[in-house]
Copies of this chain bind each other. A is one copy, B any other.
Amino acid sequence: MRAFRSQPELTTGRIEAFADGVFAIAITLLVLEIGVPHLADGESMLDALGGLWPSLFGYIFGFWVIGIYWVNHHYVFSLYRRSNHFFGLLNVVFLMTIAFLPFPTAVLAEYVADPAHRDGAIVFYLFALMLPAVTWSGTWFYASRVAHLVDDRLSDRFVTFLSWQYAGSAAAFALIVLVALVNSVAGLALGVILTLAYVMPPRAPEYREDSEA
């Protein structure tokens, strides 16, 4: 029977496992960006570690951002039923924006306490935070509207809700980048608040009324 032949296309399970690997590695690499402080003669360890607050903030917040994406990645993959070649590639592009995060985190840590370059570092950091929101939203758009990979028992209202939520999140980050161009610290604060809001659980899936039949 044909049914016993291997599936040559990437299954969603396979993509999910690969993504989990990249999430786990990117989140763990963040620690490498914290440099061991070089203490001057009279300097205390406490002062030296305190001076690392930009690196420590970058580590904690970066861990939170990637952790949130990991949780939501599992959530959204519970809504997919099929996958295809381009969906797999779109996930590679999304992961490219996740695995990139240790770099802007290091740039932020290096320059956020430097008045001359703080603004540029923050704008770049927020721009980099916008990228996974954009590729996430694009992947969802492709899967739900173009290639119909999403579980077709989900209610249209629910799918539309998620589309707006994801596009809205990407748009909000774009707006935050614009805010940061005017006032970088205000932009960073908004970026942190928006990300912290994802502490709330995602909405439970809603199914079409006739989907039990």
Q: Which residues of A contact B (CB under 8 A)?
A: 1-2, 5-10, 14, 17-18, 20-32, 34, 36-37, 39, 41, 44-46, 48-49, 59-60, 63-64, 67-68, 70-71, 74-75, 78-79, 84-86, 88-89, 92, 95-96, 99-100, 102-103, 106-107, 110-111, 116-117, 119-121, 123-124, 151, 153, 199, 201-202, 204-205, 207, 212
Residues in chain B near residue A2, CB distance under 8 A? 212
Query: Are B28 and A111 interface neighbours, CB within 8 A?
Result: no
Query: Are B92 and A63 interface neighbours, CB within 8 A?
Result: yes
Residues in chain B near residue A121, CB distance under 8 A? 45
A212 to B100, CA, bound (A): 47
Known contacts A36-B107, A111-B45: does B120 contact A78 (CB below 8 Å)?
no
A-B contact pairs, 28 of them (CB 8 A): A2-B212, A5-B205, A6-B78, A8-B78, A8-B204, A9-B201, A18-B24, A21-B21, A21-B25, A22-B27, A22-B28, A25-B25, A25-B29, A29-B31, A30-B99, A31-B102, A32-B102, A36-B103, A39-B111, A39-B117, A45-B111, A45-B121, A59-B100, A63-B92, A63-B96, A68-B92, A71-B85, A71-B89
Considering the complex, give the chain B residue whose CB is closest to the CB of A16.
Answer: B14
Residues in chain B near residue A120, CB distance under 8 A? 44-46, 48
Least distance between A110 CB and chain B CB atoms (Å)? 5
Known contacts A29-B28, A99-B28, A100-B31: does B117 contact A8 (CB below 8 Å)?
no
Known contacts A28-B29, A36-B106, A45-B120: does B79 contact A8 (CB below 8 Å)?
yes
A111 to B44, CA, bound (A): 12
Query: Are B212 and A60 interface neighbours, CB within 8 A?
Result: no
Query: Are B79 and A6 interface neighbours, CB within 8 A?
Result: yes
Residues in chain B near residue A34, CB distance under 8 A? 103
Which one of B60, B99, B204 contacts A31 once the chains associate, using CB atoms below 8 Å?
B99
